[in-house]
Amino acid sequence: METQMSAQPKRKRKRIFTGVVVSDKMDKTIVVAITKRAVHRLYKKYVTSTKKVKAHDGENEAGVGDRVRVIEARPASKEKCWRLLEIVERAK
């Protein structure tokens, strides 16, 4: 039997992360700190790691301290390859 290869490449699912806005000083760009907690394999203690990503915010609606959800997007600049999906919780 003959197998046919599809011409369409398989699409990867876009990653979605939730984090806190740590900077909104740039125009249409926010810096989001994404915190991850995992159990260390050997020591069985929780290890916290933080990663900062730059995300596109077209309307400049997110502020410092807001909890936001970001989604992977095509590169908008050298370092900006995430996009603001929604604001989960506003800062008080």
Query: How far does CA 58 lie from the centroid of its chain?
Result: 15
* Region 43-52 average pLDDT: 97
Q: Hey, where are the domains in the chain?
A: 16-89
> Is the alpha carbon torsion for 68, 72, 74, 77 positive or negative?
positive
Average pLDDT, the chain: 93
pLDDT digits (tens, 9 = 90+) for 20-41: 999 999 999 999 999 999 999 9
pLDDT digits (tens, 9 = 90+) for 49-91: 999 999 999 999 999 999 999 999 999 999 999 999 999 999 9
The pLDDT value given to residue 52:
98
Instruction: Find all residues with CB under 8 Å of 26, minimum gap 6, and list them.
Output: 54
pTM for this predicted structure: 0.83
57's tokens:
């915010």
Q: Is 2.40.50.140 the CATH classification of the domain at 16-89?
A: yes
